[in-house]
Amino acid sequence: MTQDMECSAQSVIQSTAMDALNGKIACVQAGYYDDRFIQAFSSSMVPQHSILMKRGYTARVYAFEQAVRRFIATFPDSQIISLGAGFDTLAFRLAEANAPMRRYVEVDLPSTVNTKTALMARRRQFVGVVDPSVYEIVSVDLLDPDAPALLAATVDPALPTLFIAECLFAYLPIDATDALLSGLAERFTGTRALMTYDPVNPLDRYGEAMLANLRRFKNIHMPGVVGAPTIEALTARYTRLGFPSVGRTMLNVYDEVIPEAERRRLAHLEFLDEYEEWNLLLGHYCITLSGVDAEGDSAAIHGLLEGEWLVPEKAAPERRRVTPALFDAIRE
């Protein structure tokens, strides 16, 4: 990987951290979910976000929090390592709820880490929330070949560890992600798990348009998506790298992981009539759950969220399509 490629990947990751921050703030301001910490990381006006985007972000936040909570409940002395954490607030929300974590480590580039820690030091809502022996934010370049060893040195690699990565690997060169994950699988000898949020299906008409718009308007490239364009390819890749994997689209996650009562509440917040766009957008992003426990079994990790999951060797199930009738039923 050339130095230019490395700088480009780092620049994209930093810009998308701000995009995710603004999207989540827009959700909280509109009442999609509660987060008293997120606004502390932005002092500017948040751009307008569509209802589609806000519901998508909400599904993403809900799924990650539920899976992390279940991992902590299932495996005592759990460690969470958030790769490319950006301005995420899950560590603080879990700490405020007294989740029994052994460690929670956020990992990002120095500029993001410095900005986040400076803002936390100036905001009252962070005072006394996290135990400094539990929470740590560290600067590690995930493109560095030594990154797996550096991460293993921040925690006890023999304890149950869940790595989370929200829309990170799509922006990294394929060989860099492969080296990172295979290195982590080699060094973390106890229960190891990986939860990711990734774009998929870039080769159909909608996917091609989505990637073209990102290149044209934001100069964002996604080499990792081209390298694993489908859920089958993505889960096969993670499995090959030491994290046996299953996956599902965000459309399935919204329908099956978020409880019906919560979907009904969200439907009352803002009226959505862009059904086809909703199906297309959420059908082009997915969540994967990957890894093994200390005995080499994947069942508990693959079961961190409810529903049927797609494994690499099976054909994709027919996706449930959201229709006006379904949304009307949810709103009633």
- How many whole angstroms separate alpha carbon 19 and alpha carbon 274? 22
Q: Which residues contact 306 (CB under 8 A, 6 or more apart)?
A: 256, 257
| 8 Å CB contact between 91 and 135 | yes
Q: Are 256 and 306 in contact (CB under 8 A)?
A: yes
Q: What whole-number distance in Å separates Cα of residue 220 and Cα of residue 322? A: 29
Residues 6+ apart with CB under 8 A from 94: 65, 68, 69, 72, 101, 104
Sign of the CA dihedral with 292 first, then 296, 300, and 303 last: positive
- Residues contributing to the annotated binding site: 60, 84, 141-142, 166
The residue ranges of DSSP E strands in the chain, in sequence order, are 79-83, 103-108, 135-139, 161-166, 192-199, 245-249, 285-292
Indicate the DSSP class of residue 172. S
Phi-psi category of residue 307: left, alpha or beta, with phi > 0 → left and psi -120 to 50 → alpha: left
Nearest CA to 172 out of 5, 4, 16, 3 is that of: 5
Annotated binding site for S-adenosyl-L-methionine: 60, 84, 141-142, 166
